[in-house]
Amino acid sequence: MSTTESTTGSSPAKPSAANAETTTGETVLTSVNPATGETIATHPIADEQAVAAAVATARTASATWGALSFADRKRYLLRWSSRLVAVSDELCELIHTENGKTRDDAFLELMLVLEHIAWAAKNAEKVLKPKKVAPGMTMANFGATIEYRPMGVIGVIGPWNYPIYTPNGSIAYALAAGNTVVYKPSEYSTSIGNFMAKTFAEANPELPAGVLVAINGYGATGAALVTSGVDKVAFTGSAATGKRIMAAAAETLTPVLIEGGGKDAVIVAADADIKAAADAVAYGATMNSGQTCAGVERVYVDSSIRDAFVTEIKKVLSGVHPGSDDKASYGPMTMPSQIDIVRRHIDNALANGGTAVVGGPESVKGPFIEPVVLLDVDEGAQAVTDETFGPTVTIRTVKSVDEAVELANNSKYSLGSAVFSRKQGVEIARRLHAGATSVNSVLGFAAISALPFGGRRDSGIGRIHGAPGLMEFVDPHSIAVQRFAIPGMALLSYQRTASTMKLLRRLVPLIHGRHK
Ligand code: NAD
């Protein structure tokens, strides 16, 4: 396991995670505060050998961890939660410093992490205990059971935008299912990732090293993890990286769980509560500086309420500003390279029929970007088709729910979504091509541990959270036990007789041939 060295002081001139590309030959990753450029810590970068060593440690630990009862694993996971609560001030301060988000948002993120650890720990047995299944009439002399085996070692590769919540959607569920985890946090949240692994070990000193190991580095370290022989890779990040990981994993048919990007749409129907919809959209579009995979990026609002809705959004956003003090609504952009993308999307929207009704190009002020609302941008513009990942939102006026649904579904992404309607919320939700939909709220699904989360196409493959999130990290093992032999009915033997076949030819039409 890599060790981490903390340094203090201001040295923005040093190479930093905030401005370094994936490099070769670099041995140290420098973590910086995105609001100030100050150095927070340095971390040794794990090369291929270090990654292999971490996976070997996790492999050894998996013999102990995987053999524990669900009750024992639950106890260890819940102790980890209690440890996280005990050090929550320190953790939230670290998240604020390394990621930029407000301390309150850091605490809310921690709260969600604790909810998910608890859900995974407490529900793993119910979801994953062996299940007896009916053997079918022709195999009635068998007992049939599905057992769910831990896969072994899971390689988790995380992003930086929700530096504890997002990777935990894989880590807690993989651990609860009996796997050990080698975790490569984003180069923009390395100190936070190490903190999580350290607290697990501190909470559970009697466990062998390697149940949860952090390894540090850029894309090259992640790539080494993908080809290290782990039993599954659980990745959260951009669709482009997800595709590279899937291609590399294909060489060994290593399974992948991919949580990619989003361009989430919100439909505001004519019968919506306009104030509530505007309040939720304003929050969902700008919180965390818009750096939310399931954040609100597109809105389709009925023409009959468009003006009232825009007026309300303006009202809400007039009091919303970024910063890094305690009064700030949200923090800086964590990754400097994203600032240019946001600027380009605003320019692109204005060049493609859009009008800025809140903010504009001048809202991009270094790492801090003020809220920007863009009205009636052409649907084919990049600002509408591609993930912006900034505190901006496009609002399009539509004539009907049908038009709204069609435009919302016309995307290469399919992650989250939301609908505001007093009477037809669920009905509209069912028509959306998305992994999750909140009705009369935004992002509600992400806070309910039992609900699976994920999407298709550029939004990824598979699901985190809930029962499907546990199932991602097990191999079903089918066990068929012959309880007694039926004389003359030895189907799987050369002892099978002509009269057995005669009987079967009479039975099969009775069982399967009666349906008209
Ligand atoms: P990213 O793809 O740049 O990096 C993600 C991780 O992959 C990092 O740890 C990085 O070091 C690693 N990586 C880079 N190249 C690699 C390679 N070739 N092999 C293995 N690992 C490699 O993404 P990001 O900028 O950190 O995160 C932002 C993206 O994540 C956005 O698109 C956002 O929508 C998405 N996201 C999705 C979810 C979700 O649950 N669907 C949640 C949060 C963020």
- Number of domains making up the chain: 3
Q: What is the CA radius of gyration of the chain?
A: 26
Same domain, 283 and 204: no
243 CA to centre of ligand 1 in angstroms: 11
Of 512, 492, 470, the residue nearest 177 (C-alpha): 470
Per-residue pLDDT of the chain (516 residues; tens, 9 = 90+): 333 443 323 332 233 443 334 445 789 999 999 999 999 999 999 999 999 999 999 999 999 999 999 999 999 999 999 999 999 999 999 999 999 999 999 999 999 999 999 999 999 999 999 999 999 988 999 999 999 999 999 999 999 999 999 999 999 999 999 999 999 999 999 999 999 999 999 999 999 999 999 999 999 999 999 999 999 999 999 999 999 999 999 999 999 999 999 999 999 999 999 999 999 999 999 999 999 999 999 999 999 999 999 999 999 999 999 999 989 999 999 999 999 999 999 999 999 999 999 999 999 999 999 999 999 999 999 999 999 999 999 999 999 999 999 999 999 999 999 999 999 999 999 999 999 999 999 999 999 999 999 999 999 999 999 999 999 999 999 999 999 998 878 888 898 899 999 999 999 999 999 998
Q: Is the CB of 261 under 6 A from ligand 1?
A: yes
Q: Is the CB of 186 under 6 A from ligand 1?
A: yes
Q: Which residue in 98, 187, 293, 472 is the catalytic one?
A: 293
Q: Is the CB of 189 under 6 A from ligand 1?
A: no
Q: Which two tokens stand for residue 402?
A: 């049908």
Same domain, 387 and 270: yes
Same domain, 65 and 194: yes
Task: With respect to residue 482, please indicate whether it lies within any of the assigned structural domains.
Answer: no
Same domain, 509 and 414: no
Same domain, 274 and 212: no
Same domain, 116 and 232: yes
Helices and strands (H and E) in the chain: how many:
16, 21
Chain length of the chain: 516
Same domain, 244 and 393: no
pLDDT at position 24 is 56
Task: With respect to residue 425, please indicate whether it lies within any of the assigned structural domains.
Answer: yes
Task: With respect to residue 409, please indicate whether it lies within any of the assigned structural domains.
Answer: yes
Q: Is the CB of 359 under 6 A from ligand 1?
A: no
Assign residue 295 the CATH number of its domain: 3.40.309.10
The closest-lying atom of ligand 1 relative to the alpha carbon of residue 187 is 11
Burial class of residue 21 in the structure, from the number of CB atoms within 10 Å of its CB (0-12 exposed, 13-18 middle, 19+ buried): exposed
Q: Rounded distance, CA 140 to CA 16, Å?
A: 65
Same domain, 410 and 424: yes
Mutation choice for ligand 1 from 29, 48, 112, 161, CB with most ligand atoms inside 8 A: 161
Same domain, 206 and 297: no
Assign residue 256 the CATH number of its domain: 3.40.605.10
Q: Is the CB of 415 under 6 A from ligand 1?
A: yes
238 CA to centre of ligand 1 in angstroms: 4
**293 tagged catalytic:** yes
Task: With respect to residue 315, please indicate whether it lies within any of the assigned structural domains.
Answer: yes
Task: With respect to residue 14, please indicate whether it lies within any of the assigned structural domains.
Answer: no
Same domain, 413 and 500: no
Same domain, 193 and 218: yes
Task: With respect to residue 272, please indicate whether it lies within any of the assigned structural domains.
Answer: yes
**Which residue, by CA, sits nearest to atom 13 of ligand 1?**
219
Q: Which residue in 259, 312, 387, 472 is the catalytic one?
A: 259
Task: With respect to residue 111, please indicate whether it lies within any of the assigned structural domains.
Answer: yes
Task: With respect to residue 513, please indicate whether it lies within any of the assigned structural domains.
Answer: yes
214 CA to centre of ligand 1 in angstroms: 16
Of 160, 180, 161, 416, the residue nearest 170 (C-alpha): 180
Q: Is the CB of 295 under 6 A from ligand 1?
A: no
Helix axes 48-67, 219-226, angle to 10 degrees: 50
Same domain, 511 and 390: no
**92 tagged catalytic:** no
Q: Rounded distance, CA 349 to CA 352, Å?
A: 5
Range of the domain at 496: 488-516
pTM of the model: 0.94
Q: Which residues 6+ apart lie within 8 Å of 221 measured at CB?
A: 45, 46, 47, 51, 184, 215
